[in-house]
Amino acid sequence: MQNLVRYSPVFRQQRWQRYRIKDTERGPEVWEVKWVVFWRKGSNGLPGRRHCLIVARNVLTNEVKYFVSNRVPGEHGITLRRLLRVAFQRWSVESCFRQAKEELGLDHYEVRGWRCLYRHFYLTQLSHLFCARMRQKFEAATVRDDQLEHLTTEQVRRAMNAWLEAAAGRLTRAERLEKELAKQQYYQRRNAQARRSHTKTRKARLQSLGIDVERLKSCIPQSSP
């Protein structure tokens, strides 16, 4: 693929298109994109259906990623922005597995049979779903304060642990939760400050390259009113 992008006249004649792919904890990510239609060879050696090869390059790190799609922009209502949005959604899947392993014990199984393994996975995913629903429920009340950051899965899990462990300790349940809440608010404020600092730094780096992220084509879905 590297040689195709480097030597193919179709790619060389294209200009890089810049897209605001997503907003992360460290600020907006901007990638340059080229794409082309090609036909994959079938088992009979003949060209099959049309495919799309997308090449994306990070404007700050020069990291290059390649994506192959069986959908082509312009067909059946498919747009390049939609393909890019799907292509860069892998991070959310990886984040889901990381949270399940680090916070909910997905990697703590000590079983041999596949049935036991599946039961452990089901319990872990059920716990993850519960934490996600609790996060959604209380997130609206949390973000009213501009100084606070969004709730995380870890914070929800710690709050539930504080609730369950209160009966076994010297502190009452209300005192235990109040202590945990004060600790979480401290980390929320610190994380919010760090996020604003990282975002400001990244926007300044993009601005030094002549890139105004507010005027770029964006792949971020518009929030519902």
**pLDDT of the chain along its 225 residues, tens only?**
777 778 888 888 899 999 999 888 889 999 999 999 988 888 888 888 889 999 999 999 999 999 999 999 988 889 999 999 999 988 788 888 888 888 888 888 887 888 888 888 888 888 888 888 888 777 666 555 444 566 777 888 877 777 777 655 566 777 777 887 788 788 878 888 888 999 999 999 999 999 999 999 998 887 544
Cα 81 to Cα 9, 74, 211, 221: the distances in Å are 24, 11, 19, 10
Residue 224: per-residue pLDDT: 42
Contact 3, 17 (CB under 8 A): no
Residue 103: per-residue pLDDT: 85
In this prediction the pTM is 0.73
- Torsion angle, alpha carbons of 111, 117, 120, 125, to 10: 150
Structure tokens at 217: 């084509």
Structure tokens at 68: 């192959």
Residue 142: per-residue pLDDT: 53
| Contacts for 170 with CB less than 8 Å, ≥ 6 apart | none
Distance between CA atoms of residues 221 and 219, nearest Å: 6
Closest CA to 100 of 66, 132, 60: 132
Q: Which residue has the tokens 């716990």?
A: 127
Cα 9 to Cα 18, 50, 181: the distances in Å are 20, 19, 59
Beta bridge partners of residue 39, listed in sequence order: 50
